[in-house]
Structure 1
Amino acid sequence: MAAATVSRSPERTPVVRVRSEAAFVLSTQPWRETSVIAELLTQRHGRVTVVVRGAKRVSSRFRGIIMPFVPLVVSFSGAGDIKNLTDARWMGPMTPIDPEGLVSAFYVNELVLRLTMRSDASLRLYNDYLKVLSEVSLKDGKELSVALRTFEIKLLNSLGWSQVSKVEEIEKGGIWTVRQGELVCINELCEGEKAVSLGTALAIAKAEITSSADLREVRDVLRLIIGYYVGDTGLKTRKTLEIWSQI
């Protein structure tokens, strides 16, 4: 289990020190000549941004492990939004992700990056992320689509979006659509809106997606919902996935 300590000094931001925390790298970008900035998803501290100093040096102990989909145990410290990575080691093996699965896995990473806030801790999200990575490495076709849709809903729910309170209302019928990132019951559709079938609305509200669902409609509805929250720029890997026809 990770150990965390906080050091305080007068008129200074507290310094956080975290040791031996399970984590995955979501993305990296170069920083200065020899270092990188990495976005991590950690087990008990949520998404954390760290500087990995000297990571690009041939002799660096971080070389070859600061990359996505490698289970790590990390230690970091710092007072600001960007921490310093002080240690990282390989936790153990995972089922390799094949090239087609990698596109879906990068899509999952981008979702987490775009929809979560730094240091918003969620053990459930970390476990859901670990589960979907294992599913991406083992499944394809409908099973892969079910895994991705399920993760999308769980991620949204972890951020407080949950539509489960609407289950009884959906079961009563009516016309349902998506407005401002929510499932809503309306009297009539506005121009450009599409009705959501009751089966799909229920599946999403209950977070119970199966291979017997209308997966294309589920995908399209979740695309509208996620699109509302990520904004106009959209998701880069979503476009790649569309080209590959994997979702």
Structure 2
Amino acid sequence: MMSLTQAFVLHQRPYRETSLLLDVISRDYGRVSLVARGVRQKRKRGGHQLQLFQPLWLSWVGRGELQTLTDVEHHQPRYWLKGHAALCGLYINELLIRLTGLHQSEPMIFDAYQQALSELEHSDSCEITLRIFEKHLLAAMGYGLALTHEASSGLPVTDDNYYRYLPEHGLIVSDKAIPGQTISGRSLRHFEQESDFDLVSLSEIKQMMRTVLNYYLDGKPLKSRQLFAQMQLYANPATSETER
């Protein structure tokens, strides 16, 4: 049996009558799939610890893709994400499940995830937290963004120029600004330095990152994005109808 390791539950679903299937991100072993036997009975008695956004220490046994949870401990309080921040937490959980492979240890991803949860709990700017997490996740997976130089010419990015970002290629200078397709050198500088963000740069960075992530997701939609859209529709029916 392996020793306890730091971990978070990313997703859970019922399994048979009393158990759960878990998607877990661990610091030492990467993402793993576990079966937690009998825990749904413990939940009814108030003893279920396997909550989302709860720092845990877990151990498990077995071989293959699905292994068996053997021990659960927690020594830190849960990150309490409310409202929009909770939706953002579900979004980054889904990104990890969709983009990371099983049993591929990458402590940088675990640390970036924990940092993102802390910021979502305490910060008023979820957008900045999401964009920086997306950037660090791609870098840890070997898909780091080249944000300082134009790909073909090698020329440095300048604030006044506009660019398109092509995954697996990099930045290509554009003759003009095209809403939803190009990003200014100024916004790229903000993203590279992770500072001085404003509404314009955050909007442009968000559009660029959506393009990049869609590429690595093979164009398959994220359920959490659909949930965001539904929440916006209920909050602003007229505005959401025109944006869809």
Q: TM-score normalized by structure 1?
A: 0.80
User: Do structure 1's residue 157 and structure 2's residue 142 form an aligned pair?
Assistant: no
For residues 79 and 10 of structure 2, the distance between their equivalents in structure 1, rounded to whole angstroms, comes to: 17
State the one-letter code of the partner of 1:111.
L
Aligned to 1:239: 226
Segments of 4+ in structure 1 off by > 6 A? Answer: 59-62
Q: Structure 1: which amino acid aligns with 2:165?
A: V
61 and 126 in structure 1: CA distance in 2 versus 1, 3 angstrom threshold: farther
C-alpha displacement of 1:47: 0.5
Question: Secondary structure of the equivalent of 1:151?
Answer: helix
CA contact (8 A) 1:62 1:88 kept: no
**Separation of aligned partners in 2, 1:210 and 1:145:** 13
**1:182 Cα deviation (Å)?**
4.9
Structure 1 residues not aligned, in runs of 5+: 1-16
CA distance in 2, matches of 1:42, 1:29: 18
Distance 1:155 1:59, change over 3 A: closer
**Counterpart residue number, 2:86:** 102
Q: Would the aligned equivalents of 1:34 and 1:54 in 2 still touch at CA under 8 Å?
A: yes
Cα 1:114–1:216 shift into 2, 3 Å: same
Mapped partners of 2:51, 2:76: distance in 1: 14
* 2:181 is equivalent to residue 194 of structure 1: yes
1:41-120 mapped onto 2 (5 Å cutoff): 41-58=25-42, 63-120=47-104
Q: Could you tell me the TM-score, scaled by structure 2's length?
A: 0.81
The root-mean-square deviation of aligned C-alpha atoms, in Å, is: 2.8
Q: Deviations over 1:165-189 (max 9, x none)?
A: x523362556621334653325779
Higher relative contact order structure (alpha carbons within 8 Å, sequence separation ≥ 6): 1
One-letter amino acid of the counterpart of residue 163, structure 1: L
Matched residues in 1 for 2:114 and 2:106: separation? 13
Mapped to 1, the partners of 2:231 and 2:88 lie a distance apart of 10
Equivalent pair of 2:26/2:32 in contact (CA under 8 Å): yes
User: How much has 1:199 moved relative to structure 2?
Assistant: 2.2
C-alpha distance 240-60 of structure 1, shift in aligned 2 (>3 A): closer
In structure 2, what is the equivalent of residue 167 of structure 1? 148
Within a 5 Å distance, the mapping from 1:126-145 to structure 2 comes to 126-140=110-124, 143-145=125-127
What is the count of residue pairs matched by the alignment? 225
Q: Of Structure 1 and Structure 2, which has the larger fraction of its residues in strand?
A: 1
Structure 2 residue ranges without an equivalent (≥5): 233-244
Deviations 1:127-167 (A, max 9, x none): 11001001111122xx2211111001101111111124x52
Is this contact kept in 1: 2:53–2:79, CA < 8 A? no
Q: Which of residues 194, 200, 205 is equivalent to 1:208?
A: 194
Q: Which amino acid aligns with 2:202?
A: L
Structure 1 contact 176–183 (Cα < 8 Å) conserved? no
CA distance in 2, matches of 1:100, 1:175: 31
Distance 1:117 1:59 in 2: 29
